[in-house]
Structure 1
Amino acid sequence: MAPQHGDRKQDGNAVAEPVMRWFTWEEVAQRTGRGPALQERWVVIDRKVYDISHFYRRHPGGALLISSHAGQDVTDAFVAFHVDKFLVNKYLKPLQIGELAPDQPSIEPTKNKMLVKDFRELRASVEKMGLLEPNKLFFFLHLAHILLLDTAAWLILFYFGTSLVPFIVSMLVLTISQVQASWLQHDLGHLSVFRKTKWNHLLHKFVMCHLIGASAKWWTLLHSRHHSKPNCFRKDPDIDMHPFLFTLGKKFSVEVSMSKKYMPYNHQHKYFFFTLPPLLFPTYFHCHTFYIAYTKRYWVDLACMLTFYIRFFFTYGSLLEMKSLLAYYFIFRMLESSWFVWVSQMNHIPMDIYYDKNLDWVSTQLQATCNVEQSLFNDWFTGHLNFQIEHHLFPTMPRHNYWKVAPLVKSLCAKHGIEYQCKPLLTAFADIVHSLKNSGELWLDAYLHK
């Protein structure tokens, strides 16, 4: 149902103005950018219908992020991601073309209405409880310990020399600093350290670009899409990069068997140990962050990234010979990569992986995430990503409040008969390998009998 236009007077001239129309969920569902309505992309937020057909390419979070929701209700995703609602509404207002007809339900027919209703009430309670308010002292101390470790790594070599023992100890200290910086930039990228968006962006650029040596905008571009549709093939970039080396999920593994054979996937649980964990950062991420920053012209990010490499090679180059310097750099990147991959994948790879089913926000996040038991070590070691469920449901929540909202989320899951998975840390690591083994066996069985 296309919107009609009326006329209004402006400076004596007639100006076309869109007239709001009523739409059905069926009409919205057809505007996905595919099929008959190839060029049209609509979304629904709080019963209002928006045409993002032209805007999606200018979306600050990336075109693929918002277009992955085309034809769907994005109310809960919109609330979850946007901190400054007043600013965002300025962009939304010109895009509105109508509203859902009075006879249309407020919640998309394909979604669990009671679960959505209860979650929105929980979200309101979370806001009233102040659980979205950050504790700046927590994050200041976290940044301070990162900077101290970063400095200590160099001082160890400076005072104790470059023999094997100080060389190894220095690498381990720098690895810890880098991984903890990764957890902090993750907080900043989710706008959970400051209430003002601009301060999150500024410190994010400092931590990600200068302390780590990667593009802040590159990370946001990929990670926002992951949160939007976790474990959804062709919508979650974390899953899309796997099929060349790995096949994931039960249904998807069977589908992969029908296409060209890329790898001996039945052995993927074995070669996983010496491929993705140690090599993701030193190889793929290293190249990809520079490629995206250059092709998308993130010039400020590129300049800030260069300050990391100048600082690193100047300070450590004054103590180490070139071969030792390159070995030092590559090894600590491998250690950092291994730590990061095991932690980031333990919550997702063992879970359901398939195409987007257009489920409600809660179901989408819960079917793709699981938790790891809380302890002081687990919280520090994982950057509080052991609370992956709470993090995915409330992505802008400061991580020091996850433990407070966890009982409320558990109660919501229990009420609706949804499994809330929480496991020991080592079990979570083992489940990565087990899920890869199971997926590989499913692939082999389907491949041999196709």
Structure 2
Amino acid sequence: MSDSLELLQTQEDQKLLIIDNKVYDVTEFHQEHPGGSQVLLTHVGKDASDVFHAMHPTSAYEILANHYISDVPSTVSTGDMKAFAQDIRDLRDHLSTQDYFKANHLYYFYKLISTLAICFVAMLLLYRYGQESTTAMVFSAFLLGLFWQQCGWLSHDFGHHQVFGNRTWNNVALIFLGNFCQGFALSWWKNKHNTHHASTNVNGHDPDIDTAPVLLWDEYASAFYYGGLSTDTNNNKPTTATNQNRPSSVIDRFMAENVLPYQTRYYFFVLAFARASWALQSVLHLLQVGAINQSTPLRIYEIGCLFLHWVLFLSATIGWIDGVHHQLLFVILSQSFAGYFLALVFALNHNGMPVISPDQAESMEFFEIQVITSRDVKMGWIGNWFMGGLNYQIEHHVFPTLPRHQLPVVQPMVEAICRKHRVRYHTTSFIQGTLESLESLALAQKVARKLIKKST
């Protein structure tokens, strides 16, 4: 399929892809794609049928039709679809006819109210006792961090259009929860997260595993990152890497040689900065790239909500807490608590699972990649609440638009299909999953140390 599609790409660098045996030209559209440009570019020249159906509502078919250019030429063969992928498609069709993809709005109303209640309690504590009790201030920071984490899971649900059939209402709720409540820019998250779903754990394509120079998650990343540290025979010093992701500056080179080889030692310390880092990246994305959504009212709404979040957060911190040192402590603690609550869950989703090279991904089915690169985590009801349904990561990646409350119902169905076709379905505990992530970091740092020795 990919070889034949490359023949279609020779016409003035057209960006073509195939969906359901029809060819579509996204050369101009990819810049306007509501889910971000990169997610389309990762599938140019490929059959994108499964990822399209997994990520889009029915309304997207109307937009898609505007870019149709032809049916698949007779010289292009769709090949033999794997029985596993076909069984997953059949399950998706069955779930759709049985209304599994229709959300229970009462459930999400409860989730919204109960999540906002955490913020209310946190702010009430700060308002009543922030100027007289350090303990109350710390507990308020803890609750606020938890609120941001739970808002993250709700934002995720709305971002995947799990709740409303109307895409606009999902975006309105997403911007409120993401921009106003969390201080994250919707556009940054959409672009990054949709690309992650389209190319999960594919080296060089998935932005979620591209965390250098802070963390390297696998031997592929180490080999790629340290590929720029070759020895210059003239001065016997590491040369500057040509790739922007490799160590090129003095600081990057220092990190590469003296910090990254010991990443397991500082891993848990780094997690505290996760939320602050993501919030900063999202704001910079909005300023430098702009909003994805082409609707002017939604763009204004997004920017306004993000601005209001930080104005209100800083106003409450300064107005309700006595003393600059306590104010700084509250900011640091609230951001750090949220960082830990978010990152500890994110690390369990895919880190420590197989990382696939782009060449390997070309020969694999979309659903196969989603299953073998994801991890389910066995949790009780408290754990399920804390992880926001992401402990059913395999089911979520196979059916991203499936409402959260349906994931535990569908889980045995997906596992049964994997067992039938002997596709690796990995389930573990919270602690064991964390240890697997640490083992992956340890392997990457061992490779880093060996490459450093070779470059010196």
Q: Which runs of 5+ in 1 are unaligned?
A: 1-23
Does 427-436 or 157-166 show the bigger shift?
A: 157-166
Question: Counting strand residues as a fraction of each chain, which structure ranks higher?
Answer: 1
CA separation in 2, counterparts of 1:252 and 1:292?
A: 24
User: What is the deviation of 1:134?
Assistant: 0.6
TM-score, L = length of structure 2: 0.86
The Cα of 1:204 is off from its aligned counterpart by: 0.8
CA distance in 2, matches of 1:94, 1:130: 28
Contact in 1 for aligned 2:159/2:170 (Cα 8 Å): yes
1:413 aligns with 2:406: no
- C-alpha spacing 1:139/1:185, structure 2 compared with 1 (3 Å): same
Structure 1 residue 263: deviation in Å? 4.0
How far does residue 243 in structure 1 lie from its aligned partner after superposition?
Answer: 2.2
Classify 1:25/1:448 alpha carbon distance in 2 versus 1 (closer, same or farther; 3 Å): closer
Percent of aligned pairs with the same amino acid: 24
Partner residue of 1:327 out of 326, 329, 333: 329
| In 1: Cα distance, 2:67 partner to 2:278 partner | 36
Alignment of 1:145-294 (within 5 A): 145-161=114-130, 162-240=132-210, 242-260=211-229, 262-264=256-258, 265-275=260-270, 277-282=271-276, 284-294=277-287
**Of the candidates 112, 116, 139, which is equivalent to residue 143 of structure 1?**
112
1:412/1:315 CA distance change after superposition, 3 Å = same
Counterpart residue identity of residue 286, structure 1? A
Distance 2:90 2:196 in 1: 25
Give per-residue Cα distances to partners, 1:177-217, cap 9 Å, x unaligned.
Answer: 11111111111111112122111111111111111112112
1:435 and 1:428 map into 2 onto residues whose CA distance is 11
Relative distance call for 1:255 and 1:237 in structure 2 (3 A) is closer
Show the counterpart of 2:65. Answer: 93
Q: CA RMSD in A?
A: 2.1
- Secondary structure at the counterpart of residue 127 of structure 2: helix
- Report the 3-state secondary structure (helix = DSSP H, G, I; strand = E; otherwise coil) of the residue aligned with 2:91: helix
Q: Which runs of 5+ in 2 are unaligned?
A: 230-252, 292-298
The answer as to whether partners of 2:257 and 2:452 remain within 8 angstroms in 1 is no
Deviation for aligned residue 1:122? 1.3
Aligned equivalent of 1:380: 385
Aligned to 2:353: 351
1:64 equivalent in structure 2: 38
| Residue aligned with 2:391, SS | helix
Q: d(CA) in 1 for partners of 2:175 and 2:225?
A: 38
Question: What's the CA shift string for 1:342-384, capped at 9, x where partnerless?
Answer: 1011121101224332221111212321110032012111111
Tell me the distance in 2 between the aligned counterparts of 1:197 and 1:92: 15
Q: Per-residue CA shift, 1:158-178, capped at 9, x if unaligned?
A: 334532211111111111111
Matched residue of 2:64: which SS? helix
Q: Higher relative contact order by CA 8 Å / sep ≥ 6: 1 or 2?
A: 2
Which of 417, 425, 436 aligns to 1:431? It is 436
Aligned in 2, Cα 1:252/1:175: closer, same or farther, shift over 3 Å? closer
Aligned length: 416
- Is residue 109 of structure 2 the alignment partner of residue 132 of structure 1? no
Q: Residue 268 of structure 1 contacts residue 437 of structure 1 at CA under 8 Å; is this kept in 2? A: yes
- Quote the Cα distance in structure 2 between the aligned partners of 1:256 and 1:309: 35
Q: TM-score, normalising length from structure 1?
A: 0.87
Per the alignment, residue 113 of structure 1 pairs with: 82
Which amino acid in 2 is paired with 1:195? G
- Give the SS at the match of 2:352: coil
**In the alignment, structure 1 residue 295 sits paired with structure 2 residue 297:** no
